Structure 1
Amino acid sequence: MPRVKIISQCGVRTFANGMLNAAPFGLLTAIYERNQIKSPLLRLPPELRNRIFKLAIGDSVVVMNPTWSRILHGFPSMDVMTLPALPRVCRQLYSETNMLPFATYEFRYSYGYHEEVHPGHKAFLPFQKSAISTVSIQPVDPYVKGYSPGRGSESHFDILARQLKELSGLKTIFVINSRRKFCYWLEDQEKEKATQLALGLKSLMGPTVDIYVFEGFTTRCTTRMRYGKKRSWRI
């Protein structure tokens, strides 16, 4: 029987939280068991497979773009530098790798902290948000008022604080003090904003979250890759 027809007969199941239920059932059970026996990758020990998966997925940045920047610059709502295909290979690989991008990628806030920028409110489900471990932020003045849909005027810090609290698995925050080309007279002002924001975040998040301030030009590679430890300090 053709594989496409088998899949159409079995359908798609999900858990209550929205995650795809990849456990084999019906006619797909035979395919699942055959893959485990014949696939050289799936025959490897789970620990070794996980190491391979992490290397394959690598370090990437997910840039969250607000609506106005998408309209003005034609940016997509989410700019994923390397979209992994591993979870789409088969059911077992989905079960083992579907959360890896959330745990290993850096999710970057862009153009302030408006409600729509946050990586989870519309794009991700709660279980996906809880797996995010690293975010990076390009600070604006944290106490300037911004508009939050459904809540009216709030300070940028209050908006950001409410959103970060939803990321229960958060371990690291990078505050990027992005130097502006040809605007070196603003460096002290930008550094003060970044430090002020980092201190506020440390008070908010507590000792379980590491917070670093990085200096340098903004790029699309990960913060660790771009700046390393020489141009950073820990709060």
Structure 2
Amino acid sequence: MSLPLGTSPANEALYSSNRERSPLLRLPPELRERIWQYTLGGKVLHIGRKGQFPYGTAYAYECKAVDDEQRMLDNGGPGGVTVPRPTPPFFARHSHCETSHALNWGLHLPVCLLRTCRLIYQDASLLPFTENTFLFTDIHPHAALICFLRGLKPEQTHAIQRMIVMCSRSNSGPQEPAEPNFIAKSLTGLRDLTYTVEYNDYEAALCFSEDLRRERKRLAADVLVFEGLALKVVHVSVGLCYTRRVLAGLSHGASDLVNLSVVAREWKAGVVKQLMDEATT
């Protein structure tokens, strides 16, 4: 197989010869696609951001805590539903995902396969986006997401189908600006969304759990940037995480976690209903 060179007759002849002689490329398209899916898909990829919003570059590395996250969601999200309690924060649960070597997409996905010949590129160029789950986490969840989407071609952003967003609410102060129209126009292929909110500060969590609707409304606006998409699966969870600030709040007797859990369930139901109603209209 050759690299995709030019379009001269000689290069076209070499391209055709490689396609005819290669046992791999002679396989039926359905089998080739299955091979490309196994090679390029099936992973959860952390997407981070380097640099100041709205500039900087996005980087990716493979998640190694997928099973732990799924068990947490099955139990009702951070803090649980039936037995509300602080849980370790996201960065602690995923601390072993980062590796000591340079974080680079190519080190975790063999995308160099797409550079071997034109037929493979035509077959599989969008599979890294359709066959993987993208996990975004930032002080403001949309900063890393916007940075990532801006670095892709439209056909690549439209191909993304599964996404996880982890929002850490260490305080209820001003957030970096989101771009809802840009996100909605970019992610037209999104079908599966998991949105996890973690409060690492007890006072900020009280703003959500008590009758302070501004925080709930602001948080709902963050999630509802995805409304209008044809979502088929939506998971939303809100909880209080196990940090020193949380422990300090609990030690002073303000421990109404049951109220936080009840309010979070009601808020989640309303947000999910709005998301799904928008998706089906």
TM superposition score normalised by structure 2: 0.51
8 A contact 2:51–2:57 mirrored in 1: no
**Among 234, 237, 247, which residue is 1:211 paired with?**
234
Aligned length: 185
Residues 1-235 of structure 1 correspond to what in structure 2 (within 5 A)?
7=5, 10=6, 25-60=8-43, 61-68=45-52, 77-81=58-62, 82-83=108-109, 84-111=111-138, 112-115=140-143, 117-118=145-146, 119-121=148-150, 123-140=151-168, 145-148=174-177, 156=178, 159-160=179-180, 162-177=182-197, 197=220, 200-201=223-224, 204-205=227-228, 208-213=231-236, 235=272
Distance apart, 1:31 and its partner CA: 1.6
- Provide structure 1 residue ranges, at least 5 long, that are not aligned to the other structure: 11-23, 70-74, 149-155, 217-232
Distance apart, 1:94 and its partner CA: 0.8
- Provide structure 2 residue ranges, at least 5 long, that are not aligned to the other structure: 63-107, 210-214, 240-267, 273-281
Q: Larger helix proportion, structure 1 or 2?
A: 2
Distance apart, 1:45 and its partner CA: 0.6
* Distance verdict in 2 for CA 1:90–1:178, change over 3 Å: farther
> 3-state SS of the aligned residue for 2:167?
coil
Q: Percent identity?
A: 23
Q: What does residue 227 of structure 1 align with?
A: none
Which structure is higher in RCO with an 8 Å CA cutoff and minimum separation 6? 2
Distance apart, 1:145 and its partner CA: 3.5
Root mean square deviation of aligned Cα:
4.2
Q: What is the letter of the counterpart of residue 120 of structure 1?
A: L
Distance apart, 1:165 and its partner CA: 3.4
TM superposition score normalised by structure 1: 0.60
Name which one, 1 or 2, has greater alpha-carbon Rg: 2
Q: What is the letter of the counterpart of residue 64 of structure 1?
A: G
1:97-116 deviations in Å (ceiling 9; x for gaps):
11111111222222113546
